[in-house]
Chain A
């Protein structure tokens, strides 16, 4: 069997591995280049240390900065077109979805999955071992069904000093009837392995730069999976697939792609690859773009629709004591109490990450603190003391708000073209009252948590901030989590969904669209581990 996999990111690399191990001849076509060798240097010398900043760019295959926003809200999340995809820059946090997240449609909110948590659960375990996750099963079992005999491949990472400080105050307290408990977050970075597991790469040394780059190679990236590909998997980078071809019966026969020569020009050659099966794994937005460009898989009119993400609310404060931020991973624990329950029928639920990197993301610390104190006239020892006192107590809460599948949030093809002459994706994106009510509820929960912690709240959202808005008179703001999903939604019927439970396009028996784009709901969890579980489930379906 000849398979073409479009995209060498998270899902594509896993699928290619399983297909290759089972005798398929696999060609992986990646639009981006190899990761540049100077990425760490670029990170260090970037004034704005944003997720895409360390990585080389190409004129022919631009990353998310080529999106065109046309909706009431700007789509806030970046993605990366490079070998390894956005999984090169990701944060490496891997909580599973909750069982109830799989049937949010029953609440009248968004859509339900065609499979249950129980059906996906064995594939979660497989994905956690394929990627290398550090977590404690007993701790996860407090809020999730995890089989009794299951062990994650690595023990949970040590918590931060901040986590201990927060837990010592809030554990056992209640907010809105919910009992709070600071819970370890599964991590895709190397810790202490259990017997029988051999981690790839070094142990996490605490560089505190996981997004966008781990200099230690302790964080999982798809390159680790690629290093285990058998010889019958071939990777070709700089190859932008711009059409998938189907015959009159709907069977996919080949893909067309443009292979470009250098980073700065659109000079390219045109190629065709024939295939018995094609797997699109190019990112939720790019998969939708390619299906729309090919005129395939859209009998339901759902291709590109239901674009979702996790709108993020950041709140930031000072602990009463120094807690030592900017040491270790970005977040090692969270509070899971607000992820489910009856409230989600009326407002979006959320997951709380306890953020260990000061006010780096929320306010640009410590540069912003320095600028503030210098502007206030502080010099010398007074300046040094002020920066030390401020930054050493900083922490951020990161609320990931569920966004329901809404067909009005969609990817279409813009009239504008990129350098290769392909349409740029046009995004019409908005936040519903359900999401806005969730953001408001998150803010109220933050207020209460800061009170409990006796923390000095410095959160402010101002009209000239990016992505500022008001909801029922309340100032709010949202950030992007990088969790694009929903654009080739999975379902039980070809009339209302794009792919079936195997991520196979209903309209084409040998065309698969994998990744977060298949997810009918994202729940409140970072979606990569769910994407990985789905990818492995699909791959095993393909080889049996």
Chain B
């Protein structure tokens, strides 16, 4: 039982497995364990912690982008011409 990651999953709507796959559980626990719910959500969704993006990974793994199904700008390009295709349906 990991209280921080369970709470994060409940707040964000992403599974524990999805959260672990970001590689950010440990750094986020160090930053945000015990913080207000709103701050925990903002950190997971946008990578911003109290006005700062702590590192590139925090931005690249932002859950707001994952919710939409696109990579954050400047991180993982979808490939030449892919933008012409109908967006993939969300799960």
Contact = CB atoms under 8 A, between A and B. Distances in A.
Contacts of A356: 83
A387 B45 contact: yes
Contacts of B37: 379
A47 B79 contact: no
A324 B87 contact: yes
Interface string B4-31: 0000001111100000000000000000
A388 B68 contact: yes
Contact of A158 (B10, B72, B83): B83
B38 A45 contact: no
Nearest to A323: B87
Contact of B67 (A325, A326, A388): A388
Interface string A314-339: 00000000111111110010000000
A227 interface: no
Nearest to B68: A391
B34 interface: no
Dominant secondary structure at the A interface: loop
B12 A47 contact: no
Residue of B11, B56, B83 most packed against chain A (CB within 10 A): B83
Contacts, number: 153
Contacts of B51: 47
Interface residues of B, number: 46
Contacts of A46: 53
Nearest to A211: B73
A158 B84 contact: yes
A79 B38 CA distance: 36
A374 B64 CA distance: 12
Nearest to B11: A379
Contact of B12 (A161, A367, A383): A383
Given A44-B59, A205-B78, A161 B87 contact: yes
A208 B70 CA distance: 10
Interface in A41-79: 41, 43-47, 49
A159 B87 CA distance: 14
A43 B74 contact: yes
Contacts of A208: 70-71, 73-74, 77
A401 B80 CA distance: 31
Interface string B49-76: 0011111101110111101111111110
Which are the 7 A-B pairs with shortest beta-carbon distances?
A: A328-B83, A324-B87, A384-B13, A209-B74, A205-B77, A366-B64, A327-B83
Interface of B: 10-14, 37-38, 41-42, 45-46, 48, 51-56, 58-60, 62-65, 67-75, 77-87, 90
Interface of A: 40-41, 43-47, 49, 157-161, 164, 191, 203-209, 213, 215-216, 322-329, 332, 356-357, 360, 366-367, 369-371, 374-375, 379-385, 387-388, 391-392
18 contacts: A44-B59, A47-B48, A47-B51, A47-B52, A160-B83, A160-B84, A203-B80, A206-B83, A207-B75, A209-B73, A323-B87, A328-B78, A366-B64, A367-B45, A374-B38, A379-B41, A391-B68, A392-B68
Given A205-B77, A208-B71, A370-B41, 15 more contacts: A45-B53, A45-B55, A45-B58, A158-B84, A159-B84, A206-B82, A208-B70, A209-B74, A324-B69, A327-B83, A366-B62, A366-B68, A380-B13, A384-B13, A391-B64
